[in-house]
C-alpha cells in the first residue's frame, strides 16, 4: 500500500474505525444467535455489484448493497419454490452463481480491490456514510439487542412476550447486509465474515455480560481496523488482510483470558 | 394485581383445532377456565398439551376461538426446554435476562425471596451457572416478577428437587394459594394433579374429560387417556 497523504490517512482511519466498530458490535449478536457465517455468503453476493461499480465508476457500496438485496430476494424466492432443499443449499446455489457472474464482469486488474478491499481510495463521502450509517445501526441494533438474545434462547418465550420475531430478525439481517456492503470497501468481499466474527469472538472471551460483550466487540472491531490500516501504512502491505489478522492476534490473546 | 377477580370467566375456548405440517394436532377442543383456578392439562406424550398452551397464547396458527377475559390481563408463559445449557451459550447475566421484565434490583430480589432464592449476589452471573434447583426457582421468579394474572407453565423440569422439602409444584402451589392467580400447568405427573390442581383437562388430540381431579381421574378414565401402557404410581405424600 503506497504512503497516503495525511488527510487521506485520517479519512481511512475514521472510516475503518466506524466500519470495524459496527461490524464487531453486530458480530457479538451474530455469534450469540449462531449466525456468524451469514455474512460470508452475503459478501459473495456483493461481487457482481462491486464489479459493476468498478467498471462503471460508481460507488461500490451501492453496487454491493443492490446485489446483496437481489441475491437475498432470490434465495427467499427459492425457499418458497425450492421443494425440499434446505435454505443453506439454496444459499450455496445462489451465492456461488453470483460469484461466477461477478468474475465475468470483474476486470482482472481490479480483482484485488474487489476481493480484499482498498482503504486508500475512501472519499470524504465514504467516511461520512460510514459514520452516519454506523451510528444509526448502533442505535437501532442496541434497541433490539437483548430481545434478540432472548429470541435465540427461546423463540416461544420471546413470542409470548409479544416480541415480533420476523420483524426483529428482518431488522437484524438488513443491518448485517448494510454492514457487509460497507465492509467490502475496507476488507473486500472475501473477508466480510472475518471482520464480523473475529473481533467479536475475542470480545466474547473477555466478557462477563452481554453489555460488555457488545461494547468490547465494538472496541475490538474498531481497534483492529485502525491498527490494520496503521500497519499497512508502515509496511506497504494490503490493509484488508492486516485488519483481519490484527483481529486474529486479539483473539489469540483473548484465549489466555478465556474462563471456559 | 390478582386477588379481586375470583370466579369470573377468564378464558373460553371453543372448537379449537391446530394443524401442524398437514397433521391435525388438536381437534375441536372446547373448555372454560375461571379466575383463580389451578388447571392441569394432562395427557400422554404427543397428545398436544404444549400445542394447546401455545394456541391459547396465540403464538401458533389455530382455528376456532380463544377468548380471554376482557379486563387487561398479564399472562406469563414458561415454555418447555428452557435449560441452563441454552443460557450458557452467551455471557448473558441474570440482570440482563430480567431486563425484559424490569430494571429494578429491588423487584428482582423481592421475586427471588418469594421463590426462596436466597443468594442475592448472583445477579451478575450467567443463569446457566446456577444449580438445577436454583435455575428452576429463578425461572419462576422471572415469570412472576411482573405480578401476572395468569401463569402458563409447560412441564417444569419433572420432579426436580429444588432444595429443601420443596418441589417445583409445592412452590407453585404456595405462590398460587390465597391469591387470585390462575395457573395452567401442562404435566404428565398424575400425582401432581391430584395434589395441587383444582381442575384437570385430559386431552389426547381431542378433549377426553375435564372437571375436578377426584371425580375425573378414575382408573377407567386414565386407562382410556393413556391406553394400556399406563402404570400407576403411588402418589408421594
Residue to test with chain A: of B87, B91, B124, B146, most A Cβ within 10 A: B91
Give the closest residue to B76 by CA, choosing from A156, A164, A146, A145.
A156
Q: Which residue of B has its CA nearest to A144?
A: B100
**Residues whose CB falls within 8 Å of the CB of residue B35, separated by 6 or more in sequence, listed in order:** B2, B5, B6, B7, B8, B9, B10, B69, B149, B180, B182
The answer to whether the Cβ–Cβ distance between B100 and A152 falls below 8 Å is no
Give the closest residue to B77 by CA, choosing from B190, B157, B6, B155.
B155
Q: What is the pLDDT of residues A226-240, one digit of tens each?
A: 999 999 999 999 999
So what's the pLDDT on residue A171? 95
- On the question of pLDDT at A182 being above 90, the answer is yes
So what's the pLDDT on residue B1? 45
* Dist CA A202 CA B208 (whole Å): 55
The answer to whether the Cβ–Cβ distance between A213 and B90 falls below 8 Å is yes
So what's the pLDDT on residue B165? 61
So what's the pLDDT on residue A27? 97
Q: How far is B210 from chain A (nearest CA, A)?
A: 26
* More confident position, B150 or A258: B150
pTM of the model as a whole:
0.90
The answer to whether the Cβ–Cβ distance between A210 and B57 falls below 8 Å is no
Q: Tell me how far apart the 2 most distant CA atoms of chain B are, in Å.
A: 52
* Dist CA A180 CA A68 (whole Å): 9
Cell triple for B190:
398424575
Q: Name every chain A residue with its beta carbon within 8 A of the beta carbon of B96.
A: 146, 149, 209-211
From A34, A161, A213, residue closest to B100, measured CB to CB: A161
Q: What is the pLDDT along chain B (237 residues), one digit of tens a residue?
A: 444 445 689 999 999 999 998 899 999 999 999 999 999 999 888 899 999 999 999 999 999 999 999 999 999 999 988 889 999 989 999 999 999 999 999 999 999 999 988 877 899 999 999 988 889 899 999 999 999 999 999 987 655 666 666 678 888 898 899 788 999 999 878 888 888 999 999 999 999 999 999 998 888 888 888 876 555 555 544
So what's the pLDDT on residue A193? 94
Q: What is the pLDDT of residues A92-143, one digit of tens each?
A: 999 999 999 999 999 999 999 999 999 988 999 999 999 999 999 999 999 9
The answer to whether the Cβ–Cβ distance between A154 and B79 falls below 8 Å is yes
* Dist CA B100 CA A158 (whole Å): 10
Q: What is the pLDDT of residues A240-250, one digit of tens each?
A: 999 999 999 99
Q: Name every chain A residue with its beta carbon within 8 A of the beta carbon of B92.
A: 149, 153, 209-210
Residue to test with chain B: of A35, A149, A152, A163, most B Cβ within 10 A: A149
ipTM score assigned to the predicted complex: 0.89
So what's the pLDDT on residue B162? 65
For Cα atoms A252, A253, A258, give the angle at the middle one, nearest 5 degrees: 90
**Mean pLDDT value across residues A187-216:** 96
Whole-angstrom Cα Rg for chain B: 18
Q: Which residue do the cell numbers 448485517 mark? A: A176
The answer to whether the Cβ–Cβ distance between B79 and A160 falls below 8 Å is yes
The answer to whether the Cβ–Cβ distance between B92 and A210 falls below 8 Å is yes
So what's the pLDDT on residue A5? 84
Q: Name every chain A residue with its beta carbon within 8 A of the beta carbon of B79.
A: 154, 156-157, 160
The answer to whether the Cβ–Cβ distance between B82 and A152 falls below 8 Å is no
Q: Does A215 touch chain B (CB under 8 A)?
A: no
Q: Which residue of B has its CA nearest to A162?
A: B59
Q: Name every chain B residue with its beta carbon within 8 A of the beta carbon of A149.
A: 90, 92, 96
Query: What is residue B149's DSSP assignment?
Result: S
So what's the pLDDT on residue A20? 98
Strand partners, A75: none
The answer to whether the Cβ–Cβ distance between A208 and B99 falls below 8 Å is no
Q: Does B66 touch chain A (CB under 8 A)?
A: no
Q: Convert B9-41 into a string of H (helix), E (strand) and C (coil).
A: EEEEEEEEEEEECCEEEEEEEEEEEECCCEEEE
Give the closest residue to B189 by CA, choosing from B235, B136, B137.
B235
Report whether A182 contacts A210 (CB < 8 A).
Answer: no
The band of A28, judged by pLDDT with boundaries at 50, 70 and 90, is very high
Q: Which residue of A has its CA nearest to B139?
A: A157
* Residues of B (146-165) whose Cβ lies below 8 Å from A: 152
Q: Which residue do the cell numbers 377407567 mark? A: B220
**Mean pLDDT value across residues A80-87:** 78
Helices marked H in A124-164 — which ranges? 124-153, 155-160
Amino acid at each position: 500500500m503506497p504512503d497516503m497523504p495525511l488527510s487521506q490517512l485520517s479519512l481511512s482511519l475514521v472510516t475503518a474505525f466506524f466500519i470495524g466498530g459496527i461490524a464487531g458490535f453486530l458480530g457479538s449478536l451474530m455469534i450469540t444467535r449462531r449466525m456468524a457465517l451469514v455474512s460470508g455468503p452475503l459478501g459473495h453476493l456483493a461481487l457482481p455489484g462491486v464489479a459493476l461499480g468498478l467498471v462503471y465508476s460508481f460507488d461500490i457500496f451501492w453496487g454491493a448493497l443492490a446485489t446483496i438485496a437481489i441475491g437475498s430476494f432470490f434465495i427467499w424466492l427459492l425457499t418458497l419454490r425450492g421443494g425440499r432443499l434446505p435454505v443453506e443449499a439454496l444459499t450455496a446455489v445462489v451465492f456461488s452463481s453470483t460469484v461466477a457472474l461477478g468474475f465475468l464482469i470483474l476486470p482482472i486488474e481490479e480483482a484485488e480491490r474487489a476481493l480484499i478491499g482498498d482503504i486508500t481510495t475512501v472519499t470524504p463521502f465514504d467516511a461520512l456514510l460510514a459514520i452516519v450509517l454506523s451510528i444509526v445501526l448502533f442505535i437501532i441494533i442496541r434497541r433490539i439487542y437483548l430481545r434478540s438474545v432472548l429470541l435465540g434462547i427461546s423463540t416461544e418465550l420471546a413470542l409470548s412476550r409479544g416480541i415480533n420475531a420476523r420483524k426483529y430478525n428482518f431488522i437484524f439481517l438488513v443491518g448485517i447486509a448494510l454492514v457487509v456492503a460497507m465492509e467490502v470497501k475496507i476488507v473486500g468481499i472475501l473477508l466480510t465474515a472475518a471482520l464480523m466474527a473475529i473481533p467479536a469472538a475475542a470480545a466474547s472471551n473477555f466478557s462477563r455480560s452481554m453489555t460488555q460483550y457488545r461494547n468490547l466487540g465494538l472496541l475490538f472491531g474498531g481497534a483492529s481496523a485502525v491498527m490494520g490500516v496503521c500497519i499497512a501504512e508502515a509496511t506497504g502491505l494490503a490493509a484488508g488482510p492486516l485488519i483481519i489478522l490484527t483481529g486474529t492476534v486479539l483473539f489469540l490473546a483473548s484465549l489466555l483470558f478465556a474462563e471456559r | 394485581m390478582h386477588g379481586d377477580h375470583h370466579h369470573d370467566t377468564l378464558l373460553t375456548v371453543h372448537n379449537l383445532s391446530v394443524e401442524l405440517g398437514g397433521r391435525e394436532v388438536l381437534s375441536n377442543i372446547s373448555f372454560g377456565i375461571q379466575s383463580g383456578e389451578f388447571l392441569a392439562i394432562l395427557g400422554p406424550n404427543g397428545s398436544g398439551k404444549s400445542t394447546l398452551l401455545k394456541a391459547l397464547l396465540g403464538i401458533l396458527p389455530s382455528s376456532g376461538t380463544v377468548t380471554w377475559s376482557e379486563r387487561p390481563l398479564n399472562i406469563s408463559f414458561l415454555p418447555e426446554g428452557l435449560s441452563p445449557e441454552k443460557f450458557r451459550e452467551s455471557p448473558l447475566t441474570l440482570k440482563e435476562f430480567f431486563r425484559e421484565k424490569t430494571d429494578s434490583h429491588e423487584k428482582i430480589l423481592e421475586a427471588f425471596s418469594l421463590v426462596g432464592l436466597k443468594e442475592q449476589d448472583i445477579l451478575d452471573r450467567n443463569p446457566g451457572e446456577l444449580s438445577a434447583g436454583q435455575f428452576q426457582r429463578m425461572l419462576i421468579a422471572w415469570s412472576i416478577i411482573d405480578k401476572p394474572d395468569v401463569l402458563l407453565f409447560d412441564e417444569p423440569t419433572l420432579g426436580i428437587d429444588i432444595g429443601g422439602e420443596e418441589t417445583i409444584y409445592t412452590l407453585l402451589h404456595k405462590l398460587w394459594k390465597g391469591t387470585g392467580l390462575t395457573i395452567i400447568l401442562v404435566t404428565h405427573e398424575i400425582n401432581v394433579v391430584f395434589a395441587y390442581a383444582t381442575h384437570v383437562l385430559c386431552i389426547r388430540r381431542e378433549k377426553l374429560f375435564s372437571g375436578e381431579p377426584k371425580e375425573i381421574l378414575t382408573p377407567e378414565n386414565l386407562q382410556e387417556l393413556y391406553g394400556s401402557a399406563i402404570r400407576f404410581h403411588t402418589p408421594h405424600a
